[in-house]
Amino acid sequence: YFAFKIPLNACREEAALELDNPMNCNTCLIGNHKSMVFRCKNTGGDAHFKFELIETTEKRLKMQNNDLNDESMISLQDENNLTLLAGDFSLFPKEFYLKKNMPIEIYVNFAPTNKGECFSKINLICDNQIFPYTIKGEGICTELKLIEYNGNPINEDLKDINFEDTFPQSKSTNRLK
């Protein structure tokens, strides 16, 4: 009998996601919130996925290279939270497993605190791959410009609009333009 060494090389099919990038939440009034649903589908091999802040990914990579001390590792221990908080956005689920051709819905809540474009850069970690993603939206506020008050032009100094004193069953009106 003869013995032969046969090298085996095993590898899984890489994951391939169909997910909007950037995940655009469009506009939302400041002080309000808007919920969006993004459909995600894995067209590649079975895999485990996890959304992380870019800073967290960088700390994990340094930790693997033993470049972090114990204090830095404490800030990475948010594993029990199912929602990722990223600036004015929250994303759920932050961690999931998908088989080939399996879809999942990613829920993003946008609650802008400032006027203008808002965005958060995050990573989607998958086995040995890192996919950069961006979540974006725009915080807006309503602007009301009054031109006329009860038929009189309004100057820039108008601070209050007053109504007549009222009592039950009475009416008081003002015309604004």
Pairing of strands 89-92, 84-86: antiparallel
Q: Chain-wide mean pLDDT for the chain?
A: 83
Q: How far apart are CA 78 and CA 57, in angstroms?
A: 13
CA dihedral 15→93→112→18, nearest 10 degrees, is 20
Quickly tell me which residue has 């994951």 as its tokens: 15
Which two tokens mark 125?
């970690």
Residue 67 scores a pLDDT above 70: no
In 3D space, the residue among 55, 48, 61, 51 whose CA is nearest the CA of residue 133 turns out to be 51
**Please, which pLDDT band fits residue 128 given cuts at 50, 70 and 90?**
confident
Q: How far apart are CA 140 and CA 33, in angstroms?
A: 11
Per-residue pLDDT, 69? 53
**Please, which pLDDT band fits residue 35 given cuts at 50, 70 and 90?**
very high
Top-ranked range on mean pLDDT: pick from 43-57, 108-122, 161-175: 108-122
In 3D space, the residue among 148, 47, 163 whose CA is nearest the CA of residue 95 turns out to be 47
